[in-house]
A = this chain, B = another copy of it.
Amino acid sequence: MNQDRYPSRTGEEASILERKDPVIHEGSGDLKGWMDPNDVSFYEQNGYLLKKDLFSAEEIRLMVEKLNDELKRHETIDDETVIKEPESNEVRSIFDVHENSSFFKQLASDERIANIAREILGSDIYVHQSRINFKPGFKGKEFYWHSDFETWHVEDGMPDMRALSCSIILTDNHEYNGPLMLIPGSHKWYVSCPGETPEANYKSSLQKQEAGVPDHESMTWLAEQAGHQIDRATGPAGSVLFFDCNIMHGSAGNISPYARSNAFFVFNSVENRLEDPYSGQPPRPNYLANRSRSDVITPAHSPFAAQGASV
């Protein structure tokens, strides 16, 4: 294992380190030029980018149909890839959809998202994790602040900050139904969290996170750097949110009648493949942190056409 450039949960006090990797990674010419230069600099500065209407209403209709198929298929299965609400037993997430559904596998390679991911990460990419998320109306629970990278680094052995998440918004995200909140610019800092990682932490952390939780002082500091601004990813279905692996994000609960659903892909650079976890513990399962089926994504035009959608 290389030296740990991003130590966390080492039993020390919380601390804030500077990011040691670029946000927009250098890459060969054929990877570049897909994004509007303003979008590139917005992403570099803020750590995220919301592209409205990247998918058509007809495409979203089809995705929701496929999502409902997956939901139905998992109703009777108590598979480890299915995460349910702590209190209500309602399905919250289904992991590994890019492996278990040909539709979502194709979706991951749609050039409208894959080209942006490749341009930002400056290399070929593969799917590190995929899932579809349901945040039910009335009782959607909150997700406390976290950096994905902190977990992926400590628990999965992801060496560098060279990955991003892509969330395809399947239901309108309003201010009032628990949209994702992001602290702009927080991706430029690394919050080394107090505590240590319990054994097989992932079994409980997907429902309620106890390790890798940033302390109040660091969170206050990050929000101060952002001028006390906290952004929300609100937008109509068909929008896509791209966000850096290290941006601090979370969401409040959802008491509105309106569910929030999205399809979620994490892309990692092929030059940033997983090593042994920095926690020293056994790696998490493949459906959470893909280390064995890392097929390189070939961006494709309209994978929807074959599904009968007019795109």
Interface, chain A (partner B; CB < 8 A): 137-138, 142, 144-145, 174-176, 178, 181, 216, 219-220, 223, 228, 230, 232, 250-258
Query: A175 CB to closest chain B CB, in angstroms?
Result: 5
From B142, B228, B250, B256, A230 is in contact (CB under 8 Å) with B256
Oligomer copy total: 2
- Asked whether B257 lies within 8 Å of A220 as measured between CB atoms, the reply is yes
Tell me the dominant secondary structure on chain A's binding face: loop
From B175, B176, B216, B252, A254 is in contact (CB under 8 Å) with B252
A257 CA to B214 CA in the complex, in Å? 12
Query: A10 CB to closest chain B CB, in angstroms?
Result: 23
Query: A181 CB to closest chain B CB, in angstroms?
Result: 6
**Which 7 residue pairs across A and B have the least CB separation, nearest first?**
A252-B252, A176-B230, A220-B257, A175-B175, A223-B257, A142-B253, A252-B253
Q: Which residues of B contact A228 (CB under 8 A)?
A: 258
Question: From A182, which residue of chain B is reached at the shortest CB distance?
Answer: B176
Query: A58 CB to closest chain B CB, in angstroms?
Result: 22
- Asked whether B216 lies within 8 Å of A255 as measured between CB atoms, the reply is no
- Asked whether A144 lies within 8 Å of B255 as measured between CB atoms, the reply is yes
Query: A302 CB to closest chain B CB, in angstroms?
Result: 31
Q: Which residues of B contact A223 (CB under 8 A)?
A: 256-258
